[in-house]
A and B are shown apart, each in its own frame.
Chain A
Amino acid sequence: MESNYILECVGISKAFGGTQALSDVQLHIRKGEVHALLGENGAGKSTLMKIIIGLYKADSGQIIFEGNPYSVHGPAEAIAAGISMIHQELNPEPYLTIAESIFLNREDTRKGLSLLDKKKTNRKAEEILSQFGFPKGAKTMMEDLTLAQVQMVEIIKAVSCDARVIIMDEPTSSLDSEETEHLFCTIRELKQKGVSVIYISHRMEEIFQICDKVSVFRDGQFVGSRSMEGVTSKELISMMVGRTVENIFPKTECSIGDVVFQVEGLSGKGFRDISFEVRAGEILGISGLVGSGRSETMRAIFGLDPLTEGKIFLEGKEITIKGPKDAIAKGIAMVNEDRKTYGLCLYRSLRENISLPNLPKRQKKLFINQKREKKECQEVSKQLTVKTSGIEADAYSLSGGNQQKVVLSKWLMADPKVLILDEPTRGVDVGAKSEIHTLMCRFAAQGLAIIMISSELPEVMGMSDRILIYHEGRLNGEVSRKEILGGGITQEVILAKEFGGK
């Protein structure tokens, strides 16, 4: 009997040492279907995908691809068989051209010789690129592409390898709204060509927008599949977490005090003439496309990049910030959007990570009082519910959400007046996300002035007392929580402002 499915996984189990990463899970993908995988981090989605592309071998179970038993020993074999994966973190070869990149390892050679036939490769690449309406030529260097374009090249490459199933792991995590929209167009095109897409994402609204079906995983087990029609996000979230979440954004109202932090006419690379203020207890949301100058402004305020113009006031007094050291000493803390690059020393202990910015203030003597340090770090990590075997564990051993909590711990311990959060919940699973939101509200209630940048509109709208909207390096509007709660401002309105509308 001909099966309805292009890819079927049945009864897959996999254990790492003593941990059962997958137990008896299943997945059924139809031809031309966009199939979402949902689940908190560690639910087993990635493990299953790695089994499909041959990075891991399943302990038991069966995979059937296009009606035949399927077993591969690595991504190269998977691609040859017709399954490609677009990874969340893309690692392009920066000094190859697009054409070279697409045809890497299957270059055209001249007859009889093993010399490369660059002309033919370029011509073939141009053809495929134009099919997808790609804006750059085949001879462009990979390093000159934006992240979204690199991702597109990866997708094009997969299609050119005749992939019938493409796995996309968090494809929109570093894309702005416009790029995301473009990606969705591409996915729809793929669908029409009969390509199936397995779509892994934490962003619920995207899944509703693009997917046909969803399979939910929890703790290494398959919870169930639903057709996207007729399912609510509440239902999916409760499938994922095993409980009903009443309110995704636990924003609590707290009294807003005096102006703590104020900037006037800030200019620098990527932003011009930015003025705003934040009050004690207030969460100021900042929205805008990636590259619109929002992160750039905050980096400059924190002293990571230079400012060309403008004034900064803290508690009414003008201050100058020469570097992060200055900013921290004055009471400004910043959680960077890129946790692995700017947040943590992954191979050092939590204790060292947490106390790093706080040593000048808390350890004034020549030698570090390790006993006190230990106690303080333990307290703060407990307060922020970091799940770890102990504060001597290395940072890399934690999950993304817990790592983010460690970053928050270190800045909370710095006792700041202003806390800047750039994408605080990126790459964090739903449970931890909500915990981080709760923490933010608690910090605000303690009188901190919080500035939060987020690419997720629901997050900005759900958490902020006020929202500033960036467009091409300038502020293009401000909305208040009242307006949002009143229903006058919707996601569409903010998105329009991000794109330059009034």
Chain B
Amino acid sequence: MADKKEKKILGMTQDEFNLFRKRYGIAAIMIVMIILLAIVSPTFRTAGNVVSIALQVSINGILALGMVFVITAGGIDLSIGAMLALTSVIVGIVLNSTGSIFLACVISVAVTTALGFVNGALIAKFNMFPFVVTLAMQLVIRGAGYVLSGGYSASLANADFKMIGAGKLAGIPYPVFIWLAVAVLAYLLMHWTKFGRYIYAVGGNINAAQASGVDVFWTRTKSFVISGFCSGVAGIIMTSRISAAQPNIGVGYETDAIAACVIGGTSFSGGIATIPGTMIGIIIIGLIYNGMNLLGINSYWQTITKGLLIIGAVMLDMFTNKRG
């Protein structure tokens, strides 16, 4: 069966293969990492470990899938870490006062989605710098989380809510399914809808997009709305996994999300990205954490490796994408 697949790949025309290599060259790095880790660490090969890598990357995965829309449309969203914390606090308040999981999830995601809209509207309407706006919003949102919670974390005793993060279907935790579902949605949205095209066009050349009749304001705003929505979803999973409403979580999570996008071939100047590439980026980051833990390598090295890999990915991007 594997043979058949391979033949298909070799059966690509030269152009198709070049495009493939250009877009997914990073996949080779992932595969090499997987092979090396499988050789070096017996634990890595276990089914249990494959599942836990998937679980570990699910939160960052969802965040990165939101972030990739923002970066591709030429922006950046630094507020997602703070949104995680706000989601957690809101879930805690709603769940502890109403007991309704549905309300807790809907309200918290609605709030982060609305905050995404605020981010986007400020940036697209007044042409402010995304970096500055979302940096400021990060402070506002995190502050709001502290204000709402009074700075205290609250345990969530609701056993059903806990199942969102801890429940399993056929041995695979729910967060993994949620992540994959978000990935499928993101893939369809980015590669198969008009909206996806507009994201690429706005990020690639905002003036040309406008002159081609693209509604630049809404396209940019919606990219932030998507990022806000994803932060809400990731926040719910995170809250469920630690079964606590915690206002101080999510610090620095934007870094990993951005890193996953960049490693996955997303151009920081906008207009170039793929969802499969982003998924590879997410998995590579998961492999760094998991692999190094399994090999007993100090966590400081994880950080260094991640940084070097980002630089490597950007260089790869420059050599393959923009030569010419």
Pick the contact of A363: B19, B194, B215 (CB < 8 A). Answer: B194
Contact with B along A338-370 (1 / 0, CB 8 A): 000111111110001001110110010011101
A residues neighboring B (CB under 8 Å)? 302, 304, 323-325, 327-329, 334, 336, 341-348, 352, 355-357, 359-360, 363, 366-368, 370, 389-390, 392, 394, 396-397, 410
Which A residues lie within 8 Å of B200 (CB)? 345, 348, 352
**Is B197 within 8 A of A389, CB to CB?**
no
- Cα of A329 to Cα of B63 in the assembled complex, Å: 36
Contact with A along B200-243 (1 / 0, CB 8 A): 11001101111111110000000000000000000000000000
Q: What is the distance, in angstroms, from B7's C-beta to the closest C-beta of chain A?
A: 22
Which A residues lie within 8 Å of B188 (CB)? 367
Pick the contact of A325: B192, B205, B215, B267 (CB < 8 A). Answer: B215
Which B residues lie within 8 Å of A343 (CB)? 208, 211
Q: What is the distance, in angstroms, from B248's C-beta to the closest C-beta of chain A?
A: 40
**Is A366 within 8 A of B193, CB to CB?**
yes
- Cα of A367 to Cα of B201 in the assembled complex, Å: 17
**Is A344 within 8 A of B208, CB to CB?**
yes
Which A residues lie within 8 Å of B215 (CB)? 323, 325
**Is A368 within 8 A of B193, CB to CB?**
yes
Which B residues lie within 8 Å of A336 (CB)? 211
**Is B15 within 8 A of A392, CB to CB?**
yes
**Within residues 7 to 33 of chain B, which ones have a CB less than 8 A from any CB in chain A?**
15, 19
**Which of B213, B271, B272 has the most A CB atoms < 10 Å from its CB?**
B213
Q: What is the distance, in angstroms, from B275's C-beta to the closest C-beta of chain A?
A: 14
Pick the contact of B205: A302, A327, A344, A370 (CB < 8 A). Answer: A344
Which B residues lie within 8 Å of A394 (CB)? 324
Number of interface residues of B (CB under 8 A): 26
A356-B201 contact in complex given A328-B213, A345-B208, C-beta closer than 8 Å: yes
Give me 18 A-to-B residue pairs in the complex whose CB atoms sit less than 8 angstroms apart, sorted by A's number.
A324-B210, A324-B211, A324-B213, A325-B213, A328-B213, A329-B213, A336-B211, A345-B204, A347-B204, A352-B201, A356-B197, A356-B209, A356-B214, A368-B192, A389-B15, A390-B15, A392-B19, A394-B324
Q: What is the distance, in angstroms, from B93's C-beta to the closest C-beta of chain A?
A: 36
- Cα of A325 to Cα of B214 in the assembled complex, Å: 6
**Is A348 within 8 A of B207, CB to CB?**
no
Which A residues lie within 8 Å of B324 (CB)? 394, 396-397
B residues neighboring A (CB under 8 Å)? 15, 19, 188, 192-194, 197, 200-201, 204-205, 207-215, 267, 271-272, 321-322, 324
- Cα of A357 to Cα of B215 in the assembled complex, Å: 11
Which secondary structure dominates where chain B touches chain A? helix
Pick the contact of B207: A342, A352, A359 (CB < 8 A). Answer: A342
Which B residues lie within 8 Å of A368 (CB)? 192-194, 197
- For chains A and B in complex, what number of residue pairs have CB atoms within 8 angstroms? 83
Which A residues lie within 8 Å of B194 (CB)? 359-360, 363, 368
- Cα of A342 to Cα of B213 in the assembled complex, Å: 11
- Cα of A151 to Cα of B324 in the assembled complex, Å: 27
Pick the contact of B192: A323, A367, A392 (CB < 8 A). Answer: A367
**Is B205 within 8 A of A345, CB to CB?**
yes
Q: What is the distance, in angstroms, from B250's C-beta to the closest C-beta of chain A?
A: 33
Q: What is the distance, in angstroms, from A479's C-beta to the closest C-beta of chain B?
A: 30
Which A residues lie within 8 Å of B204 (CB)? 345-348
- Cα of A389 to Cα of B61 in the assembled complex, Å: 36
B194 to A, closest residue via Cβ? A359
**Which of B188, B201, B271, B272 has the most A CB atoms < 10 Å from its CB?**
B201
Which A residues lie within 8 Å of B15 (CB)? 389-390, 392
- Cα of A24 to Cα of B211 in the assembled complex, Å: 44
Pick the contact of A348: B192, B193, B214, B271 (CB < 8 A). Answer: B271
Q: A342-B211, A347-B204, A368-B192 are in contact. List 10 more A-B contacts (CB 8 A).
A: A327-B213, A344-B208, A345-B201, A355-B197, A356-B209, A360-B213, A367-B192, A367-B193, A370-B192, A396-B324
**Is A356 within 8 A of B212, CB to CB?**
yes
**Is B211 within 8 A of A334, CB to CB?**
yes
B13 to A, closest residue via Cβ? A390
A324-B212 contact in complex given A347-B321, A390-B15, C-beta closer than 8 Å: yes
- Cα of A353 to Cα of B247 in the assembled complex, Å: 45
**Is B197 within 8 A of A410, CB to CB?**
no
A394 to B, closest residue via Cβ? B324
Q: What is the distance, in angstroms, from A393's C-beta to the closest C-beta of chain B?
A: 8
- Cα of A346 to Cα of B211 in the assembled complex, Å: 14
**Which of A341, A344, A348, A366 has the most B CB atoms < 10 Å from its CB?**
A348
Which B residues lie within 8 Å of A363 (CB)? 194
Q: What is the distance, in angstroms, from B223's C-beta to the closest C-beta of chain A?
A: 16
Which B residues lie within 8 Å of A334 (CB)? 211
- Cα of A324 to Cα of B209 in the assembled complex, Å: 10
- Cα of A370 to Cα of B197 in the assembled complex, Å: 12
- Cα of A342 to Cα of B211 in the assembled complex, Å: 6
Which A residues lie within 8 Å of B192 (CB)? 367-368, 370
Q: What is the distance, in angstroms, from A406's C-beta to the closest C-beta of chain B?
A: 11
**Which of B200, B201, B208 has the most A CB atoms < 10 Å from its CB?**
B208
- Cα of A346 to Cα of B267 in the assembled complex, Å: 13
A325 to B, closest residue via Cβ? B213
Q: What is the distance, in angstroms, from B73's C-beta to the closest C-beta of chain A?
A: 12
Which A residues lie within 8 Å of B207 (CB)? 341-342
- Cα of A392 to Cα of B23 in the assembled complex, Å: 13
- Cα of A392 to Cα of B188 in the assembled complex, Å: 19
Which B residues lie within 8 Å of A341 (CB)? 205, 207-208
- Cα of A216 to Cα of B194 in the assembled complex, Å: 47
Which B residues lie within 8 Å of A304 (CB)? 210-211
- Cα of A390 to Cα of B16 in the assembled complex, Å: 11
